[in-house]
Amino acid sequence: MPPKYSTMLSFFLSSDSENNSSGICQKNPSTRSRTRRKATYKGVYLVLFSLFMLVLDGKYSLAQSTPTDSSISLNTFVSSPQKSVHSFIHWQQKGHVIPERYIQPFALFDGEKADKEQLAQQLLKVLDARGLLVVYSEIPDTRNYVDSLSGLPQYILFDELPQVYLTKVGSEWLFSEPTIEQIPELYRATFSSTLEALIDRLPPIAKQEWMGLYNWQIIGLFLWILMALIIRKLFERILTQYLSGWAKKTRIEWDDLLVESIQKPLSLIVLIGFLLLSYTNLQFGVSTNLYLSKILNISLSVAVFWVIYNLIDVFAEYLTHVTGKTENSLDDQLVPLIRKTLRVFIVVLGVIVILQNNGFNVASLIAGLGIGGLAVALAAKDTLANFFGSITIFVDRPFRMGDWIKTSAAEGTVEEVGFRSTRIRTFYNSVISVPNSSLANSEIDNLGMREYRRLKTILNLTYTTSPEQMEAFVEGIKAIVKANSNFRQDYYEIHFHAFGAHSLDVLVYVFFSVPDWSTELQQRHNFLLEILRLAKALDVEFAFPTQTLHIDSHIQGRLAEKSSASTQSLIHQIKSFGPNGEQAKPEGFRLYDEGSEVNYGPKKT
Q: What confidence score (pLDDT) does residue 35 get? A: 44
CA-based nearest residue to 79, from 171, 177, 175, 176: 171
Euclidean distance between CA atoms 432 and 407, whole angstroms = 12
What distance, in Å, lies between the first and last C-alpha atoms of the chain?
139
Domain-by-domain residue ranges, the chain? 3-65, 75-190, 213-371, 374-449, 453-593
> Quick check: do 374-449 and 453-593 share a fold?
no
Please report which residue ranges of 66-147 form alpha helices under DSSP H: 81-90, 99-102, 113-129
**Cα 386 to the center of its chain, rounded Å:** 21
Beta carbons within 8 Å of 86's beta carbon, 6+ residues apart: 77, 136
Q: What confidence score (pLDDT) does residue 456 get? A: 95
Q: What confidence score (pLDDT) does residue 415 get? A: 86
Q: What confidence score (pLDDT) does residue 594 get? A: 72
- Other C-beta atoms closer than 10 Å to the C-beta of 100 total 13
Euclidean distance between CA atoms 331 and 312, whole angstroms = 16
Which residue ranges in the chain fall short of pLDDT 70? 1-75, 247, 251-255, 326-333, 365, 367-380, 548-565, 570-578, 581, 583-590, 595, 601, 603-605
Euclidean distance between CA atoms 217 and 210, whole angstroms = 10
Measured in degrees and rounded to the nearest 5, phi and psi for residue 224 equal -65, -45
Cβ-count burial of 551 within 10 angstroms (0-12 exposed, 13-18 middle, 19+ buried)?
exposed
Euclidean distance between CA atoms 496 and 476, whole angstroms = 13
Q: Is the pTM of this model over 0.85?
A: no
Amino acid at 421: S
Q: With beta carbons less than 8 A apart as the criterion, state whether 157 and 85 touch.
A: yes
CATH number of the domain at 374-449, please?
2.30.30.60
Q: Dihedral angle at the C-alpha atoms of 243, 244, 247, 249, nearest 10 degrees?
A: -110
User: DSSP secondary structure string, 235-270?
Assistant: HHHHIIIIIHHHHHHSS-SHHHHHHHHHHHHHHHHH
Please report which residue ranges of 324-447 form alpha helices under DSSP H: 330-357, 362-371, 373-379, 381-396, 436-440
Q: With beta carbons less than 8 A apart as the criterion, state whether 484 and 532 touch.
A: no
165 DSSP β-pair partners: 156
User: DSSP secondary structure string, 290-321?
Assistant: HHHHHHHHHHHHHHHHHHHHHHHHHHHHHHHH
Rg over CA atoms, the chain: 55
Amino acid at 464: T
Beta carbons within 8 Å of 235's beta carbon, 6+ residues apart: 266, 267, 270
How long is the chain?
605
**Cα diameter, the chain:** 209
**Cα 56 to the center of its chain, rounded Å:** 79
Beta carbons within 8 Å of 584's beta carbon, 6+ residues apart: 576, 577, 578
DSSP code at position 78? G
Q: With beta carbons less than 8 A apart as the criterion, state whether 425 and 439 touch.
A: no
Q: What confidence score (pLDDT) does residue 85 get? A: 92
- 453-593 CATH fold: Alpha-Beta Plaits (3.30.70)
**Residue 543 CB-half CA count within 13 A:** 19
- Other C-beta atoms closer than 10 Å to the C-beta of 574 total 11
